[in-house]
Amino acid sequence: MKDESAQRILTFTAQRTGAAACVHMGNVIELRPVPLPAAHARLARARATLVKAEATLVHREPSQASPLLTPPLRASRPVAPSGTVMTRPATDAQGNAISTGPTTDRIALSRRIVSLHLPDFAMNRWLRWATARHEAPPDELPVVLATEGPHGPVVSATNRAAILAGLNRGARVVDMRALCPTLRVVRADPDGDHAALKKLMLWARRWCPWTATDGADGIVMDTTGSDHLWGGEAALLREIEGSLGVLGFNARVAMAPTHGAAWALARFGPLRTIATSDTLATVTAPLPARALRLDADTVLLLQRLGLKSVGDIAAVPRLSLARRFAKTQLSHNPLARLDQLQGRTAEPVSATQEAPRFAVQVKLAEPVQDPTPYLPDLCTALCTALADAGFGARKLTVTIYRTDAEVSQVTAATARASRDPNHLRRLFDDKLERIDPGYGFELITLEASAAEDMRAMQSRLDGRADDGAALAQMVDRLSARLGPQSVRTPTPHASHIPERSLAWAMALSQAPRGPDPLPVTERPLRLLDTPEEIRVLYAVPEGPPAQFVWRRVPHRIARFAGPERIAPEWWNDRPGTRLRDYYKIEDDIGRRFWIYRDGIYGDDRGAPPLWFMHGVFG
């Protein structure tokens, strides 16, 4: 009976498809197109195979027999576990296998990723700042933030009134002023916006421990296992949106199993969309192609090909897309972006670690008038904690709490990271005495407001480190006593004009590292801040003069070397600035100078060239 059923199945299949059928592993029937005469021969062989299989099943238990008789399994093909449906790979018209890409990771689709989109973050941040200073503009006044563009300032952010007035982002400010004469333009602060977004990202860790910035206007969060603490996924999204609204930020939030899907839904989907692994394909299919985080050129190319949505791209065979975009970058590859969105390619949330905080405190049994005796122990405890973590303090803050609820703070900074308790204690000499004790202090805290990585190192054979620590400590003590603005140090500046090659900056911000080896140069060690004009006697068109007078003292040149020609910096100097020819000279008594001629003869710049003294050797 079984043989007759199988024969009818195979005969019907051969008549409909013109192919011979062979029964292989499990319940899978593999069809191959062959001529009709050969199909009958294949049917005969298949019938013989079924008879042998039936004889083999006689020795099995009835529960182990499959609905269709199958031959013994071959070791060269994988065996599917019980309850698993095995499918044969997709093939084209020639029978070649077609790549279907990486399989969907079910574990990855079990994650819950929340994407926060802050479309007006820069403008909201500026409005918060203006409101705090009581300088907020009226609601009906158009305001834009402008950044520098290739052809002048361009609009980077707009308020609601500017949007209603028809002002667009990316447009030139001069064009928008012509469109709206009452427009108020404020210079944008991209660096400040980036720093504020990082602070907001850390603040968002109240909802989950894994948060990270997502571009210039977004935050991504991995809330897996945290949504039940807020009453469910929908309640969590409402809580996030409401909390950001209280802070003054307009936010769009969405939740999905993957980062790419959450990003797309937060920017192009309905408000507070929640997608699961079962509804992911359905929810993301209507989204536009730019929801895959592709650049504008790739989106335009896809639209020209008729692929305007995520569903259109997903419906195209992978082989067709792979031929065109296989070797392109991620932002140009719709296939790779689609795999990220659908969970075929992992894209975990890379949460940055918050900087560690170091603080120690002492609670007093009774109020005291002078906190100085407790400072050495606090410094020792703080330095021990810093050493255990491999950090050093760059800024210290002593906070003193009085019994009448008054709080006083004293700060001190260091030129480089330090965890020397004696040095840190000396930075507060004569500072704590300026605090009004009132009725006494009952709590004293010492905190490393700024800390940097500081690893122990040995650069000398005797075990000590010759890394400029003594110089840095001297700068710290001078700055603490005289003020940070009073102690300055020369720093290199990117300029080939000698008087501009060095600039003075606060010593605390430079972190001196010790006596670095001087670069190999033939410039004088003593350079005048402003070159001084000298009176030349017996000038010649080429080479230095034979004699000159500087500061009323005549000098006769015995030897010279040069010239070294330095051209003016056209981006900094005024039009008409002349080039310089520098000479190293030595007078008749051995004194060496560095002089230059401002201009050359015959340069058609009007007056004849002048000579200047710029430096002294030795």
Final residue belonging to a domain, choices 306, 325, 354: 354
Q: For residue 123, is pLDDT > 90?
A: yes
Q: Tell me, yes or no, whether 362 and 349 share the same domain.
A: no
Of 211, 243, 241, 244, nearest to 226 (Cα)?
211
In a domain, 492, yes or no: no
Q: How far apart are CA 405 and CA 223, in angstroms?
A: 40
What is the per-residue pLDDT across 422-479, written as a single tens digit (0 to 9) for each? Answer: 988 888 887 888 888 888 888 999 999 888 888 766 656 665 655 567 777 788 788 8
Q: Tell me, yes or no, whether 404 and 339 share the same domain.
A: no
| Domains: count for the chain | 4
What is the per-residue pLDDT across 189-241, written as a single tens digit (0 to 9) for each? Answer: 999 999 999 999 989 999 998 899 998 899 999 999 888 889 999 999 999 99
Q: Tell me, yes or no, whether 385 and 340 share the same domain.
A: no
Q: Tell me, yes or no, whether 350 and 362 share the same domain.
A: no
Q: Tell me, yes or no, whether 151 and 180 share the same domain.
A: yes
Q: Tell me, yes or no, whether 318 and 181 share the same domain.
A: yes
Of 451, 450, 418, 425, nearest to 371 (Cα)?
425
Both tokens assigned to 286? 């209507």
In a domain, 79, yes or no: no
What is the value of pTM for the model shown? 0.57
Q: Tell me, yes or no, whether 339 and 419 share the same domain.
A: no
**Burial (CB count within 10 angstroms: exposed 0-12, middle 13-18, buried 19+), residue 345:** buried
Q: How far apart are CA 243 and CA 33, in angstroms?
A: 65
In a domain, 80, yes or no: no
In a domain, 71, yes or no: no
Q: For residue 26, is pLDDT > 60?
A: no
Q: Tell me, yes or no, whether 311 and 364 share the same domain.
A: no
Q: What type of residue sits at position 392? A: G
Given CA atoms 506, 507, 513, 518 in this order, what sign does their dihedral have?
A: positive
Q: 253 pLDDT band (50/70/90 cuts)?
A: very high
Cα 443 from chain centroid (whole Å): 40
Residue 65's pLDDT is what?
36
Residue 493's pLDDT is what?
79
In a domain, 313, yes or no: yes
Final residue belonging to a domain, choices 448, 480, 512: 480
Q: How far apart are CA 613 and CA 11, in angstroms?
A: 108
Q: Which domain holds residue 37?
A: 2-64
Which helix (H) or strand (E) covers residue 387, if one does?
helix 375-389
User: Do the Cβ atoms of 610 and 598 come closer than 8 Å?
Assistant: yes
Domain containing 258 — which CATH number? 3.30.70.270
Helix, coil or strand: residue 132 = helix
In a domain, 487, yes or no: no
Q: Tell me, yes or no, whether 302 and 344 share the same domain.
A: yes
Q: What is the 3-state secondary structure (H, E, C) of 150-192?
A: ECEEEEEEECHHHHHCCCCCCCEHHHHHHHCCCCEEEECCHHH
Q: Tell me, yes or no, whether 322 and 413 share the same domain.
A: no
In a domain, 78, yes or no: no
User: Do the Cβ atoms of 241 and 110 come closer than 8 Å?
Assistant: no
Q: How far apart are CA 58 and CA 35, in angstroms?
A: 35
Q: What is the DSSP string of 498-543?
A: GGGSEEEEEGGGT---S-PPPP---S-SEEEEEEEE-EEES--SSS
Q: Tell me, yes or no, whether 422 and 475 share the same domain.
A: yes
Domain containing 415 — which CATH number? 3.30.1490.100
In a domain, 521, yes or no: no
10 Å Cβ neighbour count for 488?
Answer: 16
- 412 beta partners: 396
Q: 49 pLDDT band (50/70/90 cuts)?
A: low
Q: Tell me, yes or no, whether 201 and 340 share the same domain.
A: yes
Of 4, 3, 33, 5, nearest to 20 (Cα)?
33
Q: How far apart are CA 561 and CA 167, in angstroms?
A: 63
